[in-house]
Amino acid sequence: MFRVGNGYDVHKLAEGRKLILGGVEIPFEKGLLGHSDADVLVHAIIDALLGACGKRDIGTLFPDTDSAYKDISSLILLERAAEEVEKSGYRMSNIDSIIVAQKPKLSPFIDNMKNNIAAAMDIEAGRINIKATTSEGLGFTGTGEGIAAYAVACLYSNEER
């Protein structure tokens, strides 16, 4: 059986925070505000994975009311989500994702993001696709108030090997 899940996440940009996307610290004057490291890309991927294997969302698995997740690296959460996929009887086919941010320019960091995500999931980097775009100055991403990410995860049953 082949399954597909989609994920979306958004976080507000704020002073005094590091900007972490795909597990990469990106030089920028603001970072994303959140309970964990607020990595919107990884959060969207986690939600896509969980959806594809029939689980609830990231907030159910890793609640922001639990101090164990305060400032945690989202890559650790991704490792745990990948374990949930495996326990559910599925394996990763591929992930396609988009980061929406007016600034900063993200293309120089995408290969490192792919490698980090692949390592956290113990899969080949070629199974991960990351694109970055702007919203042409429109909406909260366009005005620099926040960053959003979308992801689609495709899984296949362990029985189909």
Q: Is 73 annotated as a binding residue?
A: no
Q: Is 65 annotated as a binding residue?
A: yes
Residues with Cβ within 8 Å of 139's Cβ and at least 6 positions away in sequence, in order, are none
Q: Is 58 annotated as a binding residue?
A: yes
Nearest to 34 by CA among 62, 8, 11, 65: 11
Rounded Cα–Cα distance for residues 82 and 106 (Å):
25
Q: Is 60 annotated as a binding residue?
A: no
Q: Is 36 annotated as a binding residue?
A: yes
Q: Is 124 annotated as a binding residue?
A: no
For 59, the 3-state DSSP assignment is: helix
Q: Is 59 annotated as a binding residue?
A: yes
Q: Is 10 annotated as a binding residue?
A: yes
User: Is 78 within 8 Å of 117 (Cβ atoms)?
Assistant: yes
Q: Is 141 annotated as a binding residue?
A: no
Q: Is 134 annotated as a binding residue?
A: yes
* Torsion sign, CA atoms 26, 47, 78, 34: positive
Q: Is 63 annotated as a binding residue?
A: yes
Q: Is 11 annotated as a binding residue?
A: yes
Q: Is 143 annotated as a binding residue?
A: no
Could you list the residues known to form a binding site, using ranges: 9-11, 35-36, 43, 57-59, 62-66, 133-136, 140
Could you list the residues known to form a binding site for a divalent metal cation, using ranges: 9, 11, 43
